[in-house]
Every structure is written in C-alpha cells, then in structure tokens.
Amino acid sequence: MKRFILAFIPAFIFIFLWGWFYNGVLLKDVFAEAQSLFRPREEMMGLFHWIIIGQAGLTLSFVMIYASGFAGGGIAAGVRLGIMLEILAISARCAIYATQPFSAKLLVLVSIGGFIEMIVTGVIVGAIYKPAPARSSSP
Amino acid sequence: MNWKKFFFAFIAAFIFLFVFGFLWYATLMHDAHREVATLLRPEADLKSYFGWLALGQFVMAFFFTLLCARYVPGGRAGAGAMLGILVGLVYAGPHLISFAVQPLTFKILCGWVAGAVIQFAIAGAIVGAIYKPATGHIMYVKERSR
C-alpha cells in the first residue's frame, strides 16, 4: 500500500502539471479555435474540481492496473502499459471525431500530448512501484 | 501468444463493442445527446464520418484484447472483467474532464461513465473466456516426492 501511494502521488502531480502546461498553455490557441464547443472560462473554473477528480481517477486506475498485472516489469512494463492505454484512448478519440465537430488537428495534437503523458506516467509508476517481496516459509 | 485464440477473442470483442456502442450511445442515450445538439455533428454528416467510428472500435478491440492477453495470460472471464472495469475507469477520468470543459449535461456524464465501465467489463469477460495461452507454453511442475 505504501508503494502504491508513493507511485500514485508523483504520477498524479505529473498528470496535473502536464495537463495544465500542454492543454492550458501550449495548445491554448488551438483550443480557442473551437471555442464554441467549450464552456466559458469562468464556468470551467467553477467545475475545476471535476478535472482534479478525473485526473486522480485516471492515475488511480493506471497504478491499479500496473500493480495488479505489470508490477515487477519495471519502467519498460510501465511504458508498455502507458502506450497501450493511450492507443485505447486514441481509438476513443476516433469516435469523438466522428460525432463531434472537432478539427483533426486538435485531436492529433491532444493525442500527441496524451502519448507523452501516458509514457511518462508509465516511467514514474514503473520506477517507483515495486511488488512486495515473496515471503519465505523456511526458518 | 496463442494467435488463433487471440483472433477469435478479438473478433468477439469487436462485435460486442460495436453492438454495445450502437445500443448504449446511439439508441439509449440518443435523446440525452440531442439536448446538446450544438456539440455534435449534424445527423446528416454522421454517415460520412462512420468510417472513423468503425476504425476506432476496431483498434480499440485489438489493443484491449492484447492488453487482456498480457494481463490475464491464463484466461478467465472474471479476471478479464476485472481488467475491463479498471480500463473503463481509466476512460471515466477523461469523461469527467470533458464535463468540466464542455457544456455537457450531468445525465450525459453519468451515461458515458457507466457505459465505459459496463462496456469494458463485459468485453473483458468475453476476451478472458475465449483467450487461452498456447498449451506448449504452459509448464507443469512435477511435485517432488517427500
């Protein structure tokens, strides 16, 4: 549990900071082009806690999947998991592109950021989370 | 990797994801989605983007099956469903973020989150039940006589 929390906290901090820097600063102008599809800024700030809960839930699920099926593989396993989860997210973005009038440019840029986010999260979780050593029954 | 079983599991997952997506998002949630019509493409345009929807579900089914095969190498519906629930929760995070930044209704948020968890839980159970590792890769350890 201690290792779980130790892996969760830095991964969550990274996802929060990367989300703010990439989507809020670097892609600010690209998002502004699709302003009609987003809430006004003041309204978004009023719902900011949903962003925190969403990012915490994503991080928690990532660490749980890693801990229960990939632990022991280290950084390489974390990166593999991150890549697979991001490919699943991109496939979901194809459905978003099919149904919502977002530009392809916006979704490609968001997907590039998502890849970086999930790979670095995999590195962090893989480097920090180690499975508990097997207990020996011999005296 | 048992590619024959993988192929059958992938096809079953793809068919399920496609049918579930149609029933849940396009049929059950149709009226909820119409409440935010300005956020969606006009119905007349949807047909021309259908290829993207199918491609997304094809890729999703392939990589979800791959994830299950690596995560639950011995197969089992229950373990596959458990992984599916966790993957559904990974999806729920971005849905919550979308709710904060896009003018979606709370009803849509609940529908998307529940849909993701149910969809991947069942898909995981299907893949877990179908996929089994190649028998040549299973090692049997003979118990030592005492």
Comparing A7-21, A65-79, B17-31, B83-97, the range with the smallest average pLDDT is A65-79
* Chain B residues closer than 8 Å to A88 by CB: 60, 63-64, 67, 87, 90-91
Question: What is d(CA B26, CA B30) in angstroms, rounded to the nearest whole number?
Answer: 5
Comparing A1-10, A55-64, B129-138, the range with the smallest average pLDDT is B129-138
Higher-confidence residue: A73 or B101? B101
User: Could you tell me the residue range of the domain that residue B24 belongs to?
Assistant: 3-134
Model pLDDT, residue B137: 52
C-alpha A58: how far from its chain's center? 6
ipTM of the complex: 0.90
Is position A134 within any domain?
Answer: no
Tell whether A138 is within 8 A of chain B (Cβ): no
Percent composition of chain A: helix, strand, coil (DSSP 3-state, to 5): 80, 0, 20
How confident is residue A89, by pLDDT bands cut at 50, 70 and 90? very high
Question: CB-hemisphere CA count at 13 Å for A43?
Answer: 10
User: Could you tell me the residue range of the domain that residue A97 belongs to?
Assistant: 2-128
Is position B144 within any domain?
Answer: no
Is position B61 within any domain?
Answer: yes
How confident is residue B144, by pLDDT bands cut at 50, 70 and 90? very low
Is position B8 within any domain?
Answer: yes
Number of domains in chain B: 1
Number of domains in chain A: 1
Per DSSP, the residues of B49-96 read GHHHHHHHHHHHHHHHHHHHHHHSTT--HHHHHHHHHHHHHHHHHHHH
Is position A60 within any domain?
Answer: yes
* Chain A residues closer than 8 Å to B53 by CB: 94-95, 98-99
How confident is residue B135, by pLDDT bands cut at 50, 70 and 90? low
Size of interface A-B (CB pairs under 8 A): 129
Residue A118 phi/psi, 5° resolution? -75, -30
